[in-house]
Chain A
Amino acid sequence: MTQSLPLIHFENVSKHYGAVKAVDNVSLTINAGEFFALLGPSGCGKTTLLRMLAGFEVPSEGRIFIDGVDMVNVPPNKRPVNMVFQSYAVFPHMTVADNVAYGLKIDGVPAAERKVRVSEALELVKLGEFGARMPDQLSGGQRQRVALARALVKRPKVLLLDEPLSALDAKLREAMRFELAQIQEKVGVTFVMVTHDQDEALAMACRCALIKNGTLQQLGTPSELYEYPANRFVADFIGSVNMLEGKLMGDERDSAVIDVPSYGAKIYLDHGVTGATGAVVWAAIRPEKIEMLPRDNMMPLEGRSSPAGHNILQGIIRDYAYLGSETVYQVQVGQQIMRVLRYNTARYAEREFEIGQSVWLCWHPQAPAILLQ
């Protein structure tokens, strides 16, 4: 879908505010035509990275290249990037059309061409009829579209989006996710988005960079981040996870066993783990990858493809949360609680499980992600 030509390159970029390291030695490459997300908890430095790309912050160390040009000493008004601000920052004293035309006017685009490009941009964001309106006559969602049109009309190499969906209500947010992705595909501009919302990043981005305390934790596609987290922080931040701390017992080329005393579990893996025997490792198991069966049934087939006594646990359901499309159960195993997710696929089904019920939990040997740190 996208040609992977590198467009943006962060090279050992750091940003210090006094003793605080907002960004600490980050290197990453963003490709042309990509929808890229900088993801992380608030205060992790992702916005600083975005603002350095826009030119509002200067890195303390390192270099930033856009299309091969070192950007560090280029002021914001000379960069081939445009930004959609978190507050949208639509100029309140200009009409919608004048807002969109502002950047073109500064560039000296002739009036006739300006008019055509402004109306094209407004059509793109479905505000074709709104050119003569003042911003205070628009809703929040419409103002965001003005900000988007105003940035895209300049045909930047990179469009920056600072928490683009955070101020919208839930329904509009979901619609806007699809629309932003569609607009990105239509214009083919590289989008770089900052968000603290993992759902947003997973839904829209081609690739994400997960940042914590100013350092890059993992770079990858949404499914790589979800299914192959690099460490415990990534596994925990993206989605929900059961984190089982254990010791690596046997580690063969095509199998490994992890002993988890706190859960009384033995985890069998059908692949090797590159770790020393006896080393502490963490098995991250997603709630939807655990199978739950009533205890009054016979013992299940040992978690299907695992040796006897492995990848299977006994538990008691302590609580559940019905979320419409799915139900999340809290299952007590020993002294620990495991989260198990079941999709509500049948409409008229009786409730399968009740609070206090004894259950079997089991999983496939490939279900856990093994984390060394």
Chain B
Amino acid sequence: MKVRAGYGHKRSALAPLDYAQRWPLKLWLGAVLVFLYAPLVTLVVFSFNQSKRNIIWTGFTFDWYRKLLGDTDLLHAFGNSLMIAMLSTLVSLVLGTLAAVALWRFRFPTKTLFEGAMALPIVVPEICMGVAMLVFFSRILPWPADLIWPLNLGAIVISHISFSFPFVAVVIRARLASFNREQEEAARDLGASEIRAFFDVLVPHLQPALISGALLAFTLSLDDFVITFFTAGPDTITFPVKVYSMVRFSVTPEVNAASTLLIAITVVLTAVALKLQGSDVGKSGGHG
């Protein structure tokens, strides 16, 4: 036993994952991290800089955030973004779940076609989606500009749904693969109607995927610039579009502060999504 343990120890020093212990790789890892995060860190740090120019550090301040809160245009854009994200998440979640369940459960002649069509919004370049939406809303479904808030956001909400619901469907579909259909039959056998069995057995199984799918749709919508830029009107500016218009004059610390806020929201939501998916992996492992 002792000999084998010693041998095992020697082996573990050569294990594939331990190559990261060697110094050239550590250096490489460090360089990658710097390239990835240095710009973001700079952005966040300079949002607290007293100087109006983004070059020299002169002192710590919350002024830019205070100024941000006083900027009604920016707050309005932020409100738009949140409303759009919430509406498109809600609809994407229902549509994506139903699409995933339909493709998982039924066999029908055009199934492959549907599966391909679902993936299309994921692979089509955003700029093309944006132009397509612009054409669609100017020629086919002109969205009236003078509707009350939030109805005037309709065009943006619809375009956001069209690119986020396939992501929801993909997440749900992956989760469905691990569903034991005998559980649904058991619920039916115990007296549940089909609808009841769906909500009592399938929805609880899908819950982690529903949450992470919703967060995915929410962050996708909140962050989207390209497609929104083509569908937004003068009254329906979103947060990313507003930040872009501010940058066009100069990169002020105010823009830094706005971007930092957006990063913070996105990071928190993504972390929550990852955590939920992580616990989901542990759980399904436990069930065997």
Contacts and interface: CB of A to CB of B under 8 A. Distances in A.
A92 B190 contact: no
Contact of A77 (B180, B193, B201, B207): B193
Contact of A89 (B186, B191, B283, B286): B186
Contact of B201 (A85, A91, A106, A150): A91
Contacts of A103: 190-191
A359 interface: no
Contacts of A218: none
Interface in B177-199: 180, 182-183, 185-193, 196
B233 interface: no
Interface in B105-144: none
A98 B106 CA distance: 30
Contact of B183 (A75, A82, A89, A151): A89
B205 interface: yes
A306 interface: no
A219 to B, nearest CB: 26
Nearest to A108: B191
B10 interface: no
B205 A93 contact: yes
Range of interface residues on chain A? 20 to 34
A86 interface: yes
A136 interface: yes
B11 interface: no
A87 B288 CA distance: 11
B191 A85 contact: no
A77 B287 contact: no
Interface in B181-230: 182-183, 185-193, 196, 200-201, 204-205, 207
A76 B180 contact: no
Contacts of B182: 85-87, 89
A85 B186 contact: yes
A106 B196 contact: yes
Nearest to B180: A87
A233 interface: no
Interface string B224-242: 0000000000000000000
Q: Dominant SS at the A interface?
A: mixed
Contacts of B187: 91, 102
B189 A93 contact: no
Contacts, number: 67
A49 to B, nearest CB: 16
A83 interface: yes
A91 B191 contact: no
Given A92-B287, A93-B204, A136-B287, A77 B192 contact: yes
A77 B186 contact: no
A350 interface: no
Contacts of A92: 205, 283, 287
Contacts of B207: 93
Interface in B266-288: 283, 286-287
Contacts of B188: 55-56, 75-77
Q: With a 10 A CB-CB cut-off, give which of B185, B191, B196, B283 has the most chain A CB atoms.
A: B191
A333 interface: no
A106 B191 contact: yes
A77 B205 contact: no
A107 interface: yes
Interface in A58-88: 75-77, 81-83, 85-87
A150 B185 CA distance: 13
A54 interface: yes
Contacts of B180: 87, 89
A81 to B, nearest CB: 8
A82 B189 contact: yes
A84 to B, nearest CB: 9
Nearest to B186: A89
A93 B191 CA distance: 18
A154 interface: yes
Contacts of B183: 89, 91
Nearest to B197: A77
Nearest to B207: A93
A131 B180 CA distance: 23
Interface in A121-165: 135-136, 147, 150-151, 154
Contacts of B192: 77, 106
Nearest to A103: B190
A42 to B, nearest CB: 17
Nearest to B193: A77
A272 to B, nearest CB: 50
A83 B204 CA distance: 22
B204 A77 contact: no
Interface string A105-116: 011000000000
B205 A83 contact: no
B190 A102 contact: yes
A135 B180 CA distance: 14
A102 B186 CA distance: 10
A75 B197 CA distance: 13
A102 to B, nearest CB: 6
B279 to A, nearest CB: 13
Nearest to A150: B190
B191 A77 contact: yes
Contact of B185 (A76, A106, A154): A76
Contacts of A102: 187, 190, 200
B182 to A, nearest CB: 4
A76 B196 CA distance: 13
Given A54-B189, A76-B189, A87-B182, 15 more contacts: A56-B185, A77-B188, A81-B189, A82-B190, A83-B185, A83-B186, A86-B182, A89-B183, A91-B183, A92-B287, A106-B191, A136-B287, A150-B186, A151-B189, A151-B190
Top 5 closest pairs, chain A to chain B, by CB: A103-B190, A89-B186, A89-B182, A106-B191, A93-B204
11 contacts: A56-B185, A76-B185, A82-B189, A85-B182, A87-B182, A89-B180, A89-B186, A93-B207, A103-B191, A106-B191, A106-B196
